[in-house]
């Protein structure tokens, strides 16, 4: 007795830190986001792909890359019983590129447009909008270098947030060049930072040698001061990258999108080339990035494939749900049961079970009472179920082959022949 009381107050198990249960109350938001995502992708010609929750560890260490926080500090890594090193996917792009190469999707007309809704795992310090397991909706256009495709992906991301009913977000873009021009830029960055290395935060001191581009992304005030005066990547672009970035901006403008060029935007994954972009909520405080993406023209080669220029985007579903709530966007209610079936006595229970089965086969959603609760208890359950009608079967109804049909709003009740329940429900639903 004492043990069970203690357990009630201190459950033995809790969801691991940084993860959360999505309870039925929340599911309306998730269904809304997922339906809008599917509709958007259909409109833009993107098809769904699902990849495994875990992958070969090297897939991420080669692409997202060592020297990034995600690979160095945040991956969930484990060895399976055969000794293979695996990682829970921290993001969706590298797995999709792996699938593209593995299944020869390069044989299809290019670009191949794919989308996904998947879990992502990162061992981060949990806070509002930052979890260790989060969910992403993302889309990728693989196998085409046209800057019009960058514009398509950015516009599509913008359209997605609009279709959710969200407002107050902004689009930031930048170009971080390619393998030809970026080394010159990295060199200029290092020159800018080198007299000040001792004053950098410990993380940035490591970044200075391992991943200088990430210096621009540090949120610490002392490092931000240096980032503000740092050289800009767009001043170091080669001719091809400059033309590409100008075209992206020209197309975005032609599509009527407003955006800002943010010189310090570099993104937290290493596979990007040329265009990078982020969509930020101006209303949320910390963790305001609703989504981000960019071009990754070299990623397929890093995985052993041919050159396959590609571009994509992903947004965090938890952050969208947070914004939908904060902005009080009206979400359609999830469908409830049409009918609750209550009974009194064993014979009536059998009839109730058979009737419920029959109604469900006619596409009528039925919730059934169970156990030997009093009729009063069953009616309470009927009320909370949200069903519009309750069917009550007692001894008299079994004998007469009828049911009592109760309208839950008006409280009106009538006796209906059991064989005519579907018609009676149809009548009230269409009246």
Question: Which positions touch ligand HAM (CB under 6 A)?
Answer: 91-93, 122, 124, 129-131, 134, 136, 138, 140, 268-269, 289-294, 312-316, 318-319
Instruction: Please report, for residues 93, 98, 105, 142, 323, the alpha-carbon distance to residue 102 in angstroms, rounded to integers and kept in the order given.
Output: 14, 6, 8, 14, 37
Contact 68, 214 (CB under 8 A): yes
What is the smallest separation between the CB atom of 92 and ligand HAM, expressed in angstroms?
5
Say if residue 111 is preceded by a cis peptide, omega within 30 of 0.
yes
How many whole angstroms separate alpha carbon 88 and alpha carbon 84? 13
**Complex with ligand HAM: residue 319 or 349, whichever CB lies closer:** 319
Q: Which of 208, 214, 213 is nearest to 194 (CA)?
A: 208
**Complex with ligand HAM: residue 15 or 198, whichever CB lies closer:** 15
What is the smallest separation between the CB atom of 135 and ligand HAM, expressed in angstroms?
8
**Complex with ligand HAM: residue 66 or 407, whichever CB lies closer:** 66
What is the smallest separation between the CB atom of 8 and ligand HAM, expressed in angstroms?
31
Q: Which of 339, 334, 332, 333 is nearest to 388 (CA)?
A: 339
**Complex with ligand HAM: residue 129 or 212, whichever CB lies closer:** 129
**Complex with ligand HAM: residue 20 or 184, whichever CB lies closer:** 20
What is the smallest separation between the CB atom of 126 and ligand HAM, expressed in angstroms?
8
**Complex with ligand HAM: residue 131 or 385, whichever CB lies closer:** 131
What is the smallest separation between the CB atom of 217 and ligand HAM, expressed in angstroms?
11
How many whole angstroms separate alpha carbon 120 and alpha carbon 130? 11
What is the smallest separation between the CB atom of 7 and ligand HAM, expressed in angstroms?
31
Q: In the chain, count H helices and then E strands.
A: 16, 16
What is the smallest separation between the CB atom of 172 and ligand HAM, expressed in angstroms?
12
What is the DSSP annotation of 216-255? Answer: GG--SHHHHHHHHTSPPGGGG--HHHHHHHHHHHHHHHHT
How many whole angstroms separate alpha carbon 411 and alpha carbon 269? 60
**Complex with ligand HAM: residue 294 or 394, whichever CB lies closer:** 294
How many whole angstroms separate alpha carbon 428 and alpha carbon 431? 5
């Amino acid at each position: 007795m004492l043990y069970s009381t203690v357990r009630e107050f201190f459950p033995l198990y809790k969801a691991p830190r940084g993860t959360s249960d999505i309870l039925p109350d929340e599911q309306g938001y998730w269904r809304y986001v997922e339906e809008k995502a599917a509709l958007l992708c259909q409109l833009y010609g993107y098809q769904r792909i699902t990849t495994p929750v875990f992958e070969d560890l090297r897939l991420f260490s080669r692409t997202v890359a060592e020297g990034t926080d995600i690979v160095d500090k945040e991956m969930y890594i484990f060895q399976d019983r055969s000794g293979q090193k695996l990682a829970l996917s921290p993001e969706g792009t590298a797995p999709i590129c792996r699938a593209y190469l593995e299944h020869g999707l390069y044989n299809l007309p290019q670009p191949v447009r794919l989308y996904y809704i998947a879990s992502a795992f990162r061992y981060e310090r949990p806070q509002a909008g930052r979890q260790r397991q989060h969910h992403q909706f993302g889309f990728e256009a693989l196998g085409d270098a046209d800057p019009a495709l960058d514009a398509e992906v950015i516009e599509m991301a913008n359209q997605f947030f609009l279709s959710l009913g969200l407002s107050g977000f902004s689009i930031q873009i930048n170009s971080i060049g390619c393998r030809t021009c970026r080394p010159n830029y990295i060199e200029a960055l290092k020159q800018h930072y080198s007299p000040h290395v001792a004053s950098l935060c410990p993380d940035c001191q490591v970044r200075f040698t391992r991943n200088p581009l990430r210096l621009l992304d540090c949120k610490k005030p002392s490092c931000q001061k240096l980032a503000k005066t740092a050289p800009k990547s767009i001043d170091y672009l080669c001719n091809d990258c400059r033309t590409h970035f100008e075209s992206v901006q020209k197309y975005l403008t032609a599509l009527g999108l407003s955006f800002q060029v943010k010189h310090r935007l570099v993104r937290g994954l290493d596979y990007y080339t040329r265009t990078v972009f982020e969509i930020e909520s101006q209303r949320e405080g910390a963790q305001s990035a609703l989504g981000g993406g960019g071009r990754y023209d070299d990623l397929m080669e890093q995985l052993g494939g041919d050159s396959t220029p590609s571009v994509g985007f992903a947004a965090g579903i938890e952050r969208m749900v947070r914004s939908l709530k904060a902005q009080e966007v009206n979400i359609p209610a999830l469908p409830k049961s049409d009918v609750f079936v209550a009974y009194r006595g064993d014979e009536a229970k059998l009839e109730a079970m058979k009737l419920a089965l029959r109604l469900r086969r006619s596409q009528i959603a039925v919730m059934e009472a169970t156990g030997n609760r009093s009729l009063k208890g069953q009616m309470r359950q009927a009320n909370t179920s949200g069903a519009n009608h309750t069917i009550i079967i007692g001894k008299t109804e079994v004998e007469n082959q009828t049911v009592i049909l109760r309208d839950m709003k008006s409280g009106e009740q009538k006796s209906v022949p059991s064989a005519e329940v579907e018609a009676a429900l149809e009548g009230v639903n269409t009246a």
